[in-house]
Amino acid sequence: MVTIMYDLSNCSHCREAYGDVLAELGESNPRIVVLDSDLSGSTKTASFGKKFPDRFFDVGIAEQNLMDVAAGLSLCGKIPFVSTFAIFGTGRGWEQIRNTIAFDNLHVNLVFTHAGLSLGGDGATHQSLEDIALMRVIPGMQVIVPADCVETRSVIRYAADTPGPKYIRISRRRTLNVFSEKEYSFDLMNYPVLEEGTDVALFANGCMIREALKACYALRRESISAKVINAHTVKPLPKDVIVDAARQTGAIVTVEEHSIIGGLGSAIAEVVSEEYPVPVKRVGSKDRFAGSGSTDDLYMKLGINSDAIVHAVRTLVRQRG
């Protein structure tokens, strides 16, 4: 077995990668337009706006209008990328996303940033631990959570070329650099395996990739072999990949910066219970608001860090005997 050891201190901002690839795509595809709601400096769409001011629309703090304008531009043959903070886009704009964008299966790419607990100091009103559940339940909506900058750029290129509504979730925090630009290409229906293992499969995405790898290395010192899988797509799910991991390891732990209700853990548990039942533990927020604090402190408070993953794995191993 080939062992990979990632440098867990080597991290970058996916928001920066998003802004850069938008400006790059704007050069080659004049149909691409970008919309924001008075947060373009934070979402990094401002770089597109400076380069292509006639294709950039800041609608102000009006998220419902943001979604409807994007729908209209899509109906006119444009390819909109729509950005704001995750809590505002999925929360305030949900009805318009459902009834205007998804109902008509429009090619609108919702790229919402500052997801999860990354706005820790601003408190629960600005944190989004429900957004994946809100988007996942909408018919036809793809839900994607890139792991790093390379995957973010590849996902945005995929989104530009692929019809239909998509929700792409990005953190404010820096994420671990996992992939090589020359070697990686996003595949919606295939989860990359970051570390091989035989005793348990850890499914994680976004910022939680780093926590899963930290747990993997800690478990290795206890002679527990953990397979780490980048579950970048929450909908649609690559069921064969999930079932194969369940069959190979006999136990699964899911890790998400989101509520365990309706998110990645729920999605994978649904597949496993129907297709290949094995014990599953879900590491995530457990039906509560986080409050105000640093992101790392909130991870600890809610139990969604590497220590919580290690504890979940130990529990499964003990149960299995």
Q: Which residues are catalytic?
A: 63
The rounded distance, in Å, linking the Cα atoms of 256 and 211 is: 10
C-alpha distances out from residue 35 to 52, 145, 216, 274, 309, Å:
12, 20, 40, 40, 38
The rounded distance, in Å, linking the Cα atoms of 33 and 79 is: 6
Sign of CA dihedral 191, 117, 106, 264: positive
For 137, phi and psi rounded to 5 degrees?
Answer: -80, -15
Joined tokens for residue 146: 């890139």
Full DSSP string of 31-68 = TEEEEESS-HHHHTTHHHHHH-GGGEEE--S-HHHHHH
Asked whether the bond before 236 is cis by omega within 30 degrees of 0, the reply is: yes
Adjacent-strand bridge partners of 166: 109, 142
Adjacent-strand bridge partners of 202: 228, 253
C-alpha distances out from residue 216 to 41, 59, 197, 239, 281, Å:
36, 44, 9, 23, 15
